[in-house]
Amino acid sequence: MADTTHLNGLESCFQRGNLTLKVPMSLFQNNRKRLVARINSNTKVPTTGTFIILEGGIEVPFNDTDICWPFRQESFFQWCFAVEEPGCYGALDLATGTSILFMPRLPPEYAIWEGKLHSLDDFKKRYAVDETYYTDEIAKVLKSKQANLLLTLNGQNSDSGLQAKEATFDGINQFKVDNKILYPEICECRVIKSPQEIEVLEYVIKVSSDAHKSIMQMVKPGFAEFQAEAAFMHYVYSIGGCRHVSYTCICGSGHNASILHYGHAGAPNNKVINNGDMCLFDMGGNYCGYAADITCSFPVNGKFTEDQKMIYNAVLAARDAVMDAAKPNVLWTDMHLLANKTMLISLKSGGLLVGDVDEMMKAGLHEVFQPHGLGHLMGLDVHDVGGYLPGHPERSSAPGLRKLRTSRVLLAGMVLTIEPGCYFIDCLLDAALKNPNQSKFIVAEELKRFRGWGGVRIEDDVLITETGVRNLTDVPRTVEEIEEWMAAGKE
């Protein structure tokens, strides 16, 4: 564990309170070493005089006011330096591995409004870097170290379509800059988690699992969706030290459970949950920048109807099939198709579908009931980087597969979500019923009673091991486990 000696009120580890996980700065030292080693071994860049330069996040004002949004560090910078303050820069010397942190030079008034003005030496100890300077000294410091080539971050996130934040500073035009090399290499480093990173992910996933379990025993008819969101956020923060959640909480019930990213500003988890509704709660805490992403689906009254049980078990069978088959050297696209085929087989057994399941797949029927991918890489971002990079399979245009956030071959050390789902989305069902290639498989009369019913998603966070999968999520999953757990809460 990290040295937790107090340094003028600062500590050389990340922790919230006395009962949460201590994250040692050695985790981020190790990340930096991994990155430097990868760049040196995978590229033809000269090591002497070459520096990696990263720019941290900045505070973002709330519109035109004098307050700011709660600050979250830029993810690549967090991965390398774990610095909590905004407005920082970091540099790594490829020749020596020396780590340099540049902190903003704060005015004396900071001490009045924001607290103690810490010294550069304080920050050097706190973040376990080799050297610290002020941000207005970047060019001067790099010049003194005979820097010649700077590797900056420039690449497109394959999930958002947005560009990574490329470092720029006064005087950068005095150096040669390459903004092509760094992005794929640092992304590849982030894809494979170190043992220390896995420990943090285990922690935040456990806290988030416990929060979900608490809410499953709390909800009842008449409970509002936003109350579930509030209870989750309170639990992961008050118990687990998670000041942030990793994404906007999705607390859909009834029809809202069929809206994949429900909970947004236009539909802010504001429905009252009715007796008989299925709940689909997709929520994950965030600790030291690392994300959890868990979905639990269950009946609000704690007792599945036969229809609810049939759909739930269809999704659970899909999840179980992937859990049994996923391992290193397996294609993620094959896992997605396995999950979809398994679910269609169950829907056919339940009387919703008829015909040959392989023909259903060819007709794209699986995308009607599950219009999203099987899951995604996870780490410092809930949809983590590395899904589509040079040298790996490109995005497919086939039904179902075109929505996947990665098509990679699985490798030990990856952390992903496995999240099959089955939804009754009117616009997709209407289109399928009008499509003769798909409608021939659908028992329209049986389908009617599921209109407005919502949906089911089961989402687990898993680690790919040398031999298979380790599920890091710990929540009731079978129908029997859910009913027993919810009944115990009511007692």
pLDDT tens digits for 228-268?
999 999 999 999 999 999 999 999 999 999 999 999 999 99
As given in the structure block, the two tokens for residue 22 are: 């201590």
In the prediction, which pLDDT does 8 show?
Answer: 44
Asked whether residue 406 carries a pLDDT value surpassing 60, the answer given is yes
Asked whether residue 1 carries a pLDDT value surpassing 70, the answer given is no
**Residue 156 and residue 14 in contact, taking contact as beta carbons nearer than 8 Å:** no
* Residue 490: band (very low, low, confident or very high) from pLDDT cuts 50, 70, 90: confident
* Helix/strand/coil percent split, the chain, to 5: 35, 15, 45
- b/e map 465-481, b = 16+ CB within 10 Å: eeebbeebbebbbebee
**Residue 248 and residue 297 in contact, taking contact as beta carbons nearer than 8 Å:** no
Closest of 391, 396, 292, 291 to residue 336, by C-alpha: 396
Cα dihedral 239, 242, 248, 249 in deg (nearest 10): -20
pLDDT tens digits for 140-181?
999 999 999 999 999 999 999 999 999 999 999 999 999 999
DSSP calls for 384-428: -S-SS-TTSPPPP-STTGGG-S--PBP-TT-EEEE--EEE--HHH
DSSP 301: T
DSSP calls for 281-296: EEE-EEETTEE--EEE
DSSP calls for 41-104: HHS---STTEEEEEE-----BSTTSS-BPPP---HHHHHHH---SSS-EEEEETTT--EEEEE-
In the prediction, which pLDDT does 11 show?
Answer: 57
Q: How far is CA 482 from CA 226, 271, 299, in A?
A: 22, 23, 9
Residue listed under structure tokens 């009008």 = 434
| H-assigned helices in 282-397 | 306-325, 332-349, 357-362, 365-369
pLDDT tens digits for 75-94?
999 999 999 999 999 999 99
* Residue 10: band (very low, low, confident or very high) from pLDDT cuts 50, 70, 90: low
pLDDT tens digits for 313-352?
999 999 999 999 999 999 999 999 999 999 999 999 999 9
Cα dihedral 319, 325, 327, 328 in deg (nearest 10): -120
Residues 6+ apart with CB under 8 A from 16: 240, 241, 242, 243, 287
Percent of the chain with pLDDT over 70: 98
In the prediction, which pLDDT does 5 show?
Answer: 41
**Residue 289 and residue 76 in contact, taking contact as beta carbons nearer than 8 Å:** no
Which residues are 295's β-sheet partners? Answer: 282, 459
Closest of 331, 337, 274, 261 to residue 301, by C-alpha: 274
**Residue 294 CB neighbour total at 10 angstroms:** 25
**Residue 370 and residue 192 in contact, taking contact as beta carbons nearer than 8 Å:** no
| H-assigned helices in 219-305 | 225-238
Q: How far is CA 98 from CA 128, 176, 418, in A?
A: 11, 20, 39
Asked whether residue 7 carries a pLDDT value surpassing 80, the answer given is no
In the chain, DSSP finds a helix count (H) and a strand count (E) of 16, 19
Cα separation of 387 and 379, whole Å?
Answer: 12
**Residue 420 and residue 367 in contact, taking contact as beta carbons nearer than 8 Å:** no
In the prediction, which pLDDT does 2 show?
Answer: 37
**Residue 454 and residue 254 in contact, taking contact as beta carbons nearer than 8 Å:** yes
Q: What's the predicted TM-score (pTM) here?
A: 0.96
In the prediction, which pLDDT does 4 show?
Answer: 40
* Angle, CA 38 vertex, CA 37 and CA 44 arms, to 5°: 100
Q: What is the CA radius of gyration of the chain?
A: 25
Percent of the chain with pLDDT over 90: 96
Asked whether residue 457 carries a pLDDT value surpassing 50, the answer given is yes
Cα separation of 122 and 10, whole Å?
Answer: 8
Average pLDDT, the chain: 96
pLDDT tens digits for 33-87?
999 999 999 889 999 999 999 999 999 999 999 999 999 999 999 999 999 999 9
- Strand-by-strand arrangement of the 469-471 sheet: 415-418, 460-464, 469-471
Secondary structure (3-state) at 20: coil
**Residue 253 and residue 273 in contact, taking contact as beta carbons nearer than 8 Å:** yes
